[in-house]
Structure 1
Amino acid sequence: MTQRQSHQEAEHVVRLRAELKQALSLDLEELGLIEADSGEYESTFIGVHLKTAFQPIYDAKQGEIYGYEALIRPSLFGTLGSTPEFAFTYADQSGKLVQFDRVCRSQHVLNFRAIHQENGLLFLNVHPKLLLEVSAHGKVFEQILHQYSVPTHRVVLEINESLIDQDKHLVAAIENYRSLGYRIAFDHVGNHQSKLYRLWRAQHDFIKFDVSVIHQAAQQPSLAKALGGLVHAVQDLGSTPVIVGVETQQQLDIAIASGAAILQGNFLAAPVVAKVLNDQQQRRTSKVA
């Protein structure tokens, strides 16, 4: 890289940080955004180093990628590996949960732009505590998406409804997000905490079954047969079922036999950085077809 190119890239990152400062309402010094040698954007916020990984979600009937779930990969002090749950708990205890979430989402959007696909969906997790901030928080994120040319209808917000105590908060959050153009996915449906009556009381575009569903279906033939009924029930509600946690050929066969078209799991593709996704797509698609 020439000295001129290096200088231009440095100026680009400075401009980008300034834009995010305005959108996120953060002091510039709080957001350590860098463009790594891999071309991926990384950041450091409240001492937590953040990288983005994407896991492809496949359309088994079309044999192509349907979308990507963005996952944060945090580490402490740049060396100690951590989990998203720990990082968000730490941000919450530090009084920076809203800002931390905005940093994560913004970084996901920046890295999502590196994926050469014009129509794929971006699946993002929503922290349950931030549902109460849905009006202001959603509009700020809408501004970020608009700034980086990702329309809200390409964004699917994943809500773990089992962690929401009050129905009215869940319904209000969904109505607000949908009014801004986002799509909604209920996540972890089928775990022991799920409130199944919410499936027909609240609007949603996707139902993502808990990973335990496909794993247990592989162990219990009766559940494998019943899975088709669950898939059709979700479809009858006007929603799209998504089977996640597919880790073996047996689980893939069961998922396809159930009638579900949208599948996700490490057997199909593990989470990776945006830079390598295009190379993986051709190799992984053949397993689904």
Structure 2
Amino acid sequence: MPLQQLVEYFNDRLEQEHNDGVRPFVLENGAAHGLFGPIKVGSVLAPIRETLRSSHVVGHIAQLTVAANPVLTLQGNELDNLVNLPRAPGNSDSVINFDRLARTVHMLNYLPQSHLDELLFLHVDPRHILGVKADHGAYFEEIIVKCGLQTGNVAIALNVSNAYARFFPSLQKGLENYQRRGYKLALKFDIQSLEKSALELISRLAPDFVGLSAENLDQVRDSQLPGKIQQLNSLVASVKGRSILLDIDDKRGAALARQSGFGLVQGRYFELPVTSANKPDAGNKVSKPESYQSRRAV
């Protein structure tokens, strides 16, 4: 089904579900966006690459872009203030509705390249998982099927933080519901959240992917950091998953990925032109003055 027809189909569906006349999905310059109150959300699809063969893309992480809804006028820095407001913990319906809208936008924007047989990694808010009592993934499965794809094309990604540690049993049940429907599963951590309970969650869920953020890793003062990273990669391998070093901005992060045994990488470093400042090895000649997708992580 053409993208414009899918946009209209999902608008009709939401209009009927909520009976409020709101048609949130719009198509602009070939890209899908979603309107949610005073904001307009879109997608950036960030490639996930093989560490030792970074020209090979295995999937994309869908990242959210936020702008002002042109239908509503915001003054000055009102948008920044709105985005930075603390989230209301009790408003689970609003969280679920926004999460579903964002994931539908990402799915629509992924469709033009879905023939490449690459996974789409979609973040889900932990409050969404906690707010849905049963049949996690059923609603979104209907959207996936309507787009002509299968749940196996999608990896449900969850940012795991210590703030949700006491909810891990409930999160586990929800994520297992996604797994039963055929979704792939990805868990993302930062180094501070790699506590015993987080490692136990990996053991119990056996996710397909486990990501560690490289952001601010160079500022961590912990003599046991290499051991923690090795322990993480060994655990992921034991459950037959793949490890990803995420948010790599420079060649130090790329070198860490290779030296520490991460099988996959993602980050701005791999999308920038190769220059004398960031090429992997100053002693190797670069065959082209600018190479966007052939850089090896060393």
Superposition TM-score tier, normalisation by shorter sequence: 0.7 to 0.9
Native 8 Å contact 1:246 1:266 kept in 2: yes
What is the Cα deviation at residue 36 of structure 1? 0.9
Please tell me the root mean square deviation across aligned C-alpha atoms, in Å.
3.3
Q: 1:82 to 1:66 in 2, by over 3 A?
A: farther
Q: 1:98 to 1:229 in 2, by over 3 A?
A: closer
Name whichever structure is richer in helix by fraction.
Answer: 1
Native 8 Å contact 2:135 2:177 kept in 1: no
Q: 1:77 to 1:167 in 2, by over 3 A?
A: closer
What is the Cα deviation at residue 229 of structure 1? 4.6
Percent sequence identity over aligned pairs = 20
Question: Is 1:107 the counterpart of 2:105 in the alignment?
Answer: yes
Moved more, 44-53 or 120-129: 44-53
Q: 1:112 to 1:140 in 2, by over 3 A?
A: same
Question: Is 1:73 the counterpart of 2:65 in the alignment?
Answer: yes
Report how many residues are paired. 266
Equivalent position amino acid for 1:249 in 2:
K
Task: Output the TM-score relative to the length of structure 1.
Answer: 0.78
1:94-243 superposed matches below 5 A: 95-115=93-113, 117-132=115-130, 133=132, 135-162=134-161, 163-164=163-164, 165-192=166-193, 194=195, 195=197, 196-212=199-215, 214-216=217-219, 223-224=225-226, 227-243=229-245
Quote the residue 1:29 is aligned against: 21
- Report the Cα distance in structure 2 between the residues aligned to 1:27 and 1:204, rounded to whole angstroms: 38
Q: Which is bigger in relative contact order (C-alpha 8 A, separation at least 6)?
A: 1
Equivalent position amino acid for 1:29 in 2:
G
1:126-163 deviation per Cα after TM superposition (whole angstroms, max 9, x unaligned): 11111131634511100000000221111111112334
Q: Secondary structure at the match of 2:137?
A: helix
1:1-44 deviation per Cα after TM superposition (whole angstroms, max 9, x unaligned): xxxxxxxx9xx74763234432683447323322112x111121
Quote the residue 2:46 is aligned against: 55
Q: Secondary structure at the match of 2:33?
A: strand
1:269 to 261, 271, 276: 271
Equivalent position amino acid for 1:191 in 2:
Q
Quote the residue 1:277 is aligned against: none
- Report the Cα distance in structure 2 between the residues aligned to 1:122 and 1:83, rounded to whole angstroms: 30
1:72-114 deviation per Cα after TM superposition (whole angstroms, max 9, x unaligned): 1122344765599758937975952222211111110000012
Task: Output the TM-score relative to the length of structure 2.
Answer: 0.76
- Report the Cα distance in structure 1 between the residues aligned to 2:208 and 2:81, rounded to whole angstroms: 28
What is the Cα deviation at residue 60 of structure 1? 1.9
- Report the Cα distance in structure 2 between the residues aligned to 1:191 and 1:264, rounded to whole angstroms: 20
Equivalent position amino acid for 2:174 in 1:
A
Native 8 Å contact 1:214 1:246 kept in 2: no
* Runs of 4+ residues over 6 Å off in structure 1: 219-222
Quote the residue 2:293 is aligned against: 285
Q: 1:82 to 1:126 in 2, by over 3 A?
A: farther
Which blocks of at least 5 consecutive residues in structure 2 are unaligned? 273-289
1:224-274 deviation per Cα after TM superposition (whole angstroms, max 9, x unaligned): 57634532332123221111121111210121111212001111138xxxx
1:192-230 deviation per Cα after TM superposition (whole angstroms, max 9, x unaligned): 47533322233311111133474357x878745763453
